[in-house]
Structure 1
Amino acid sequence: MATAPTTPLRTTAGNLCLGSAPDSWGIWFPEDEHQVAYTRFLDELAEAGYQWLELGPYGYLPTDPQRLKEELDARGLKVCGGTAFGALHRPGAWDETLIGVRQVAALATAAGAHHLILIPAMYRDEKSGAFTESPELTAEQWAGFGKAADRLGKVLLDEYDVRLVIHPHADSHIQTQPEIERLLNESDSRYTNLCLDTGHVAYGGGDNLDLIRRFGERVGYVHIKQMDPEILAQVAIEDLSFGEAVRRGVCVSPPAGVPDPADVIAELARLDAELFVVVEQDLYPCAPDVPLPIAVRTREHLAGCGLSAARRPASTR
């Protein structure tokens, strides 16, 4: 878990610090014709009242640390984490995974962040929905998953002072609650912890509140989002890919959808840990004028639930 902060962070929910992510602006790829320019994203993020952000897909924001710093400083923004994909179940992909993770970790560290959110490799293509590998891991693949996560987490902690948090994700091998629990039970809390993504947990049929209550000491970071139950039913009936579910609008703004963010915030507020809670509403693809009003309404709703986006220095590590 994260080390104890030296300067207490205080928001309305005293241990939680609100941020947002490029995903909430429909950003899934470093470059894509459906995405807004990064300068517009940064401008609108600040306009919407957020201070903290994730880096998003590597290459979308500037990868030169000095240029990134200038862009962020000009808008009063700070980085809370970086995001990478990794195929920890495939030993032959270790070198490729490590190269990508190191790139993100180096940029995150240069920007003052101490978290790397690792999304397991997806077994369906994000755009086409085609299966690229089996949705089930073999016993041998499971046996190595936690060990590979710990190996990666140790590299990040020792070399970058960055904490690894694994992000459950639809169409990945860490999606359902049993899969999440198995990963946590077969990994070391010194090196591997959980990015609790409330929407993806709901997508996989899990119980966010139960996970917080039973594995609270392993929650190192949070993505807060809601899913539309009607579209979740379509996913199950029609075997939809996550990309198709997003296009149908499975990700919704509060107070719509599940889980109820007020319940999640209340449960997180009981933990003895200071956490970034990052809004991540999947909107790809979306019209350029869609994200900003949603970001404002979401921030206002979460403030009503006790989660503030007040611009305060954070000691969350």
Structure 2
Amino acid sequence: MTGMLRLGSCPDSWGVWYADDPRQTPWRRFLDELAEAGYRTLELGPYGYLPTDPARLADELAARGLTCAGGTVAGAGGPHQNLPEVLAATRRVAELTVAAGGRDVVFVPVPGYRDDATGGYLAARELGYGQWRTLAANTDTLGRMLAEEYGVALRFHPHADYQVENQQQVERFLEMTDPRFVSLCLDVGHLAYRGADVLGLIRDYPERVGYVHLKQMDPGLAARAAAEDLAFGQAVAMGVSVAAPAGVPEIPPVLSALSALGRDLYVVVEQDMYPVGFDIPLPIARRTYSYLTSLGEFA
């Protein structure tokens, strides 16, 4: 049984982490270069980076032959806290995602327990029992709201420096949340960064893999970041996120396992490069697109 994997990319691969930052690639340039690199599908990235007027966004995408895979909720923190703010941010993204033709909402729980720039700790590495219960209940609430009110799916993104980042935590999260309303954005790079068994997660939780971020990490730099207790943002600035096929996890086995799920999945390239010079992303995007499409796994 084989599935249909749909390849896309996102603003993160052009050095975009925030809605507005002068060190980031301007949004028009991002869209132009995304299409120039060969991609026809994108994730929208942080709300406010691309136009939020639905008609204008639709026009900009159509002018470049682009379609929307999904929207991105980021910057609202984890669902175990500030639920009203998280709900409001998620609704904004859902409305724009639906208008753009997307079917998935990726929830990225940042900021997490560390400051990306300074490395300072903002919270404990581990959630307490009550916090886990709140996280699960609130994530279920988000997923139900998205499904029932907007007809889109919640894809929760395990993230380095958030309390759902390693194998044990991801498994606990899946066991505590409702599979009808919550599945993963399987970011294979973040999981590899924290030593998780990516292929094992795909094998053991096949129905909970709803969306994929495809990235690789330099294992040497990841080990250094762990040894020196660096924040993920600090490791990214050192170059820990690398272009395929230079890092881990290995891409061909991951794509084969995803294809064998027999489902239609978006696989979105996401190479963390914040901050980065404006002339750097396009050549990398071209090479990455050429390499991935040469593997023969994409529709």
TM-score range, shorter chain: over 0.9
**Partner SS for 1:84:** strand
**Partner SS for 2:205:** helix
User: 1:248 maps to which residue?
Assistant: 238
Aligned residue identity for 2:141? R
Instruction: Identify which of 60, 78, 81 aligns with 1:87.
Output: 78
Q: 1:1-317 residue pairs with structure 2 within 5 A?
A: 14-85=3-74, 86-90=77-81, 93-121=82-110, 122-308=112-298
Q: Are 1:261 and 1:305, in contact at CA under 8 Å, matched by a contact in 2? A: no
- Unaligned 5+ segments in structure 2 are none
State the Cα distance separating 1:307 from its structure 2 match: 3.3
Name the TM-score, length of structure 2 as normaliser: 0.96
Aligned residue identity for 1:24? S
State the Cα distance separating 1:204 from its structure 2 match: 1.2
**Partner SS for 2:173:** helix
**Partner SS for 1:61:** coil
* RMSD between aligned residues: 1.1
Aligned residue identity for 2:196? G
Measured in 1, the distance between the counterparts of 2:78 and 2:195 equals 23
- Unaligned 5+ segments in structure 1 are 1-12, 311-317
Measured in 2, the distance between the counterparts of 1:148 and 1:273 equals 27
Aligned residue identity for 1:69? A
Aligned residue identity for 1:88? P
State the Cα distance separating 1:14 from its structure 2 match: 4.6
Measured in 1, the distance between the counterparts of 2:264 and 2:31 equals 25
Measured in 1, the distance between the counterparts of 2:274 and 2:129 equals 34
Aligned residue identity for 2:26? A
Structure 1 vs Structure 2: percent identity of aligned residues? 52
Q: Deviations over 1:165-204 (max 9, x none)?
A: 1101000011001111101111111100011000001011
Aligned residue identity for 1:254? A
State the Cα distance separating 1:124 from its structure 2 match: 1.2
**Partner SS for 2:102:** coil
State the Cα distance separating 1:305 from its structure 2 match: 2.0
Measured in 2, the distance between the counterparts of 1:255 and 1:155 equals 38
Measured in 1, the distance between the counterparts of 2:197 and 2:296 equals 21
Measured in 2, the distance between the counterparts of 1:192 and 1:206 equals 20
Aligned residue identity for 1:194? L
**Partner SS for 1:56:** strand
Q: Are 1:18 and 1:307, in contact at CA under 8 Å, matched by a contact in 2? A: no
Q: Deviations over 1:64-120 (max 9, x none)?
A: 001101111110011101111342112xx0100001111100000000111000112
Give runs of ≥4 in structure 1 deviating > 6 Å: none
